[in-house]
């Protein structure tokens, strides 16, 4: 089954967990939650603005995890936290990963921790029962790509373009070749992110990979004042687009279901 992992900046609004629940209701297979950081080097303007708004509201890791714990009984899809190394290592990766798990978060993405510096974080994540997801880019050399694929857990994040996150008019031509390279060296699902801005992009990317991560396009809508109900419609449109690609894939080519994924 092709997967849809929409992104939400934690703490961006007072009712931000209502967006989380809306994403789930709209058919998200998992949800990526951004833990805002003051220097998000990999994020483009939209996610930076979303992080700035959350931080100005006083959002902290503690507050966001407390909000998640409060709705944990209503969340049925896996949650992946995305953040930067400073937040992870300030109290130590063991403490950070344990706190994620206690709040119901089962995955972690830290884009500024490269695979060859991930030993400590990987061990801490595994001990806490948290999947550490690693990223690969179009210029990642073959040997490094194989190592990323071997050490990633949950899925492999295919960064479709060189550069930061952000909406784009077209899906990058590098997305499909990168997904093919990763799929050749792993049985893990390969999710394509960065620049998935429209439903038609989601369909095309899902054909190449095993699903998509959509961030900036959704966060722009939240920044512009869209309600959780309106975001439910947006995510539902992306769900339909991903399902369109799924219907084109022969059943014997589909990956086996992963425990905890949407049924």
Segment 115-134, tens digit of pLDDT: 999 999 999 999 999 999 99
* Residue owning tokens 């989601």: 202
Report helix, strand or coil for 175. Answer: helix
| pLDDT value at residue 194 | 84
Give residue 41's pLDDT band: very low, low, confident or very high (50, 70, 90): confident
Whether pLDDT at 212 is above 70: yes
Give residue 195's pLDDT band: very low, low, confident or very high (50, 70, 90): confident
Average of per-residue pLDDT across 100-111: 97
Question: Residue 52 catalytic?
Answer: no
Q: Write down the pTM of the prediction.
A: 0.90
The H helix count followed by the E strand count for the chain is: 11, 9
| pLDDT value at residue 246 | 84
**Are 192 and 205 contacting, i.e. CB atoms less than 8 angstroms apart?**
yes
Please list, residue by residue across 176-211, b when 16 or more beta carbons sit within 10 angstroms of its beta carbon and e when fewer do.
bebbebbbebbebbbbbbbbbbbbebbbbbbbbbbb
Of the residues 29, 43, 147, 210, only one is catalytic, namely 43
**Are 192 and 212 contacting, i.e. CB atoms less than 8 angstroms apart?**
yes
Q: Which two tokens stand for residue 208?
A: 């190449």
Report helix, strand or coil for 82. Answer: strand
Whether pLDDT at 260 is above 50: no
Of the residues 18, 25, 29, 32, only one is catalytic, namely 32
Architecture per CATH, domain 3-134+202-246, reads as Alpha-Beta Barrel (3.20)
Helix (H) or strand (E) holding 242: helix 228-247
Question: Residue 32 catalytic?
Answer: yes
């Amino acid at each position: 089954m092709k997967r849809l992992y929409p992104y939400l900046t934690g703490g961006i609004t007072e009712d931000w967990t209502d967006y989380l629940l809306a994403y789930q209701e709209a058919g998200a297979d998992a949800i990526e939650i951004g833990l805002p950081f003051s220097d998000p080097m990999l994020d483009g303007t939209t996610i930076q603005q979303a992080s700035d708004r959350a931080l100005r509201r006083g959002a902290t890791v503690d507050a966001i995890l407390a909000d998640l714990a409060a709705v944990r009984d209503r969340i049925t899809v896996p949650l992946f936290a995305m953040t930067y190394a400073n937040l992870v290592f300030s109290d130590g990766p063991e403490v950070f990963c344990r706190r994620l798990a206690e709040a119901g978060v089962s995955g972690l993405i830290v884009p500024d921790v490269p695979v060859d510096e991930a030993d400590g974080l990987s061990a801490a994540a595994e001990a806490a029962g948290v999947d550490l997801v690693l990223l690969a880019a179009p210029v990642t050399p073959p040997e490094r790509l194989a190592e990323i694929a071997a050490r990633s857990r949950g899925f492999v994040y295919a960064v479709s373009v060189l550069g930061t996150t952000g909406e784009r008019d077209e899906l990058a031509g590098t997305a499909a070749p990168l997904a093919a390279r990763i799929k050749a060296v792993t049985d893990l699902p390969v999710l394509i992110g960065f620049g998935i801005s429209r439903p038609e992009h989601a369909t095309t990317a899902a054909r190449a990979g095993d699903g998509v991560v959509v961030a900036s396009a959704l966060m722009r809508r939240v920044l512009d004042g869209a309600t959780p109900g309106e975001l439910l419609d947006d995510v539902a449109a992306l769900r339909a687009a991903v399902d369109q690609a799924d219907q084109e894939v022969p059943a014997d080519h589909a990956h086996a279901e992963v425990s905890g994924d949407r049924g």
